[in-house]
């Protein structure tokens, strides 16, 4: 592909290494009956490069399933919304048993294609819940609000001014809920914090995200919530802290990224692969596999910030994490568009 902007530290080699590491450590957790069967033919369709943080989680999980022997996998990236239905049809015609991707910008058209191929299983990121009218379409989203909340607790303890900048892609449910959870976490340790919130209107425009972050820093923000790539670069250049989203970039910004909420797509994909293998795939909401208690999200290791976050904040993180896992504490899922304070 030409004209691509690659974020620092997230190359194809990095993605492949991540997939191999996951498979080697057993995180994939494919069911034994799936491993005993022939690998399932999986196709991925993505509207952005596989280096993009959200899509990279799907891609890494698929590569890990391949390494574990549970899937054969091919993919197409940078597919425009207008071309998405055509690519769906091509993979279905080629015999893909499970098609994964994201249809946020082509919801209705995608469902029309799904209905044309009732023998193909579709697992697609969507802003809507499943519908029995499309029995072979299961939906998912990155419901990682639990980890976002925990990262907010740390952010609230690390900000000095209490002025926090938030840069998101689009104000849609899957972004909104993470920002709200992060803000709720911040208020646990910094009740009087204020927030500058802005959306760049793109899933992958690091320069625009960086410029938006610069404006917030100029307006007093001393910590940034990096929902998009480019924000941590701005924070690093200006010498302030950032909290990451979906992937762990601490190694790339060792003096900047103090915490990150990680998304693990493996539980979601493995559940779908098992359903396809067992002939039980159906319309369903796979979003719950992203919850902390399901292993679908986590708080990244602090890395170079180990020991630098106030002990009281880390104690609260541990307390809340345990409570989330045992069900005694629930992080609110708020899909409304967040506003600046």
At residue 221, does pLDDT exceed 70? yes
> Which letter does DSSP use for residue 266 in this model?
H
Model pTM score: 0.85
CA atoms within 13 A on the CB side of 148: 29
3-state helix, strand, coil in the chain (%, to 5): 45, 15, 40
Q: CB–CB of 73/44 below 8 Å?
A: yes
At residue 3, does pLDDT exceed 80? no
User: 76-88, pLDDT tens digit by residue?
Assistant: 999 999 999 999 9
What pLDDT, on a 0 to 100 scale, did the predictor assign at position 53? 82
At residue 25, does pLDDT exceed 50? no
At residue 214, does pLDDT exceed 70? yes
Return the H-helix or E-strand segment holding 41. Answer: strand 40-45
More confident residue, 32 or 290: 290
More confident residue, 238 or 18: 238
At residue 36, does pLDDT exceed 60? no
At residue 27, does pLDDT exceed 50? no
Closest by alpha carbon to 54, among 305, 292, 290? 290
What pLDDT, on a 0 to 100 scale, did the predictor assign at position 31? 54
At residue 317, does pLDDT exceed 80? yes
* pLDDT-derived band at 52, boundaries 50, 70, 90: confident
Q: Bridge partners of 140?
A: 125
Closest by alpha carbon to 264, among 285, 293, 242? 293
Percentage, residues of the chain above pLDDT 90: 85
Taking the C-alpha atoms of residue 146 and residue 125, their distance in angstroms, rounded to an integer, is 19
At residue 16, does pLDDT exceed 80? no
Taking the C-alpha atoms of residue 341 and residue 338, their distance in angstroms, rounded to an integer, is 9
Taking the C-alpha atoms of residue 87 and residue 66, their distance in angstroms, rounded to an integer, is 22
User: 125-164, pLDDT tens digit by residue?
Assistant: 998 999 999 999 999 988 999 999 999 999 999 999 999 9
User: 55-75, pLDDT tens digit by residue?
Assistant: 999 999 999 999 999 999 999
CA angle (265, 117, 286) in 5-degree steps = 25
**Angle 84-93/107-116 helices, nearest 10 degrees?**
20
Token pair, residue 129, equals 């819940």
């Amino acid at each position: 592909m030409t004209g691509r902007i690659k974020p620092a530290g997230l190359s194809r080699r990095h993605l492949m290494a991540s997939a191999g590491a996951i498979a080697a450590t057993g995180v994939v957790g494919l069911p034994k009956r799936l491993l005993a069967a022939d690998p399932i033919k999986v196709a991925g369709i993505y509207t952005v490069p596989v280096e993009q943080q959200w899509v990279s989680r799907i891609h890494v999980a698929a590569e890990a399933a391949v390494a574990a022997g549970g899937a054969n996998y091919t993919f197409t990236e940078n597919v425009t919304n207008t071309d998405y239905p055509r690519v769906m049809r091509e993979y279905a015609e080629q015999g893909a048993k499970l098609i994964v991707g994201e249809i946020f910008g082509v919801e209705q058209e995608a469902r029309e294609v799904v209905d044309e191929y009732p023998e193909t299983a579709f697992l697609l990121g969507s802003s809507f819940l499943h519908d029995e009218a499309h029995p072979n379409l299961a939906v998912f989203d990155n419901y990682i609000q639990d980890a976002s909340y925990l990262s907010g607790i740390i952010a609230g303890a690390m900000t000095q001014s209490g002025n926090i900048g938030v840069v998101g892609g689009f104000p849609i449910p899957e972004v909104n809920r993470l920002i709200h959870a992060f803000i709720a976490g911040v208020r646990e340790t910094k009740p009087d914090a204020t927030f500058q919130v802005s959306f760049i209107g793109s899933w992958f425009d690091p320069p625009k995200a960086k410029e938006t972050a610069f404006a917030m820093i100029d307006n007093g923000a001393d910590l940034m919530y990096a929902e998009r790539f480019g924000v941590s670069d701005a924070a690093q250049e200006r010498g302030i802290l950032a909290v990451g989203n979906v992937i762990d970039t601490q190694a790339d910004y060792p003096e900047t990224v103090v915490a990150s909420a990680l998304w693990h797509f493996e539980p979601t994909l493995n559940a779908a692969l098992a359903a396809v293998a067992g002939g039980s795939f159906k319309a369903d909401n796979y979003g719950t596999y992203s919850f902390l208690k399901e292993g679908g999200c986590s708080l990244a290791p602090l890395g170079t910030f180990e020991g630098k976050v106030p002990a009281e904040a880390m104690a609260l993180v541990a307390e809340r994490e345990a409570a989330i896992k045992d069900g005694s504490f629930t992080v609110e899922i708020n899909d409304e568009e967040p506003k600046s304070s």
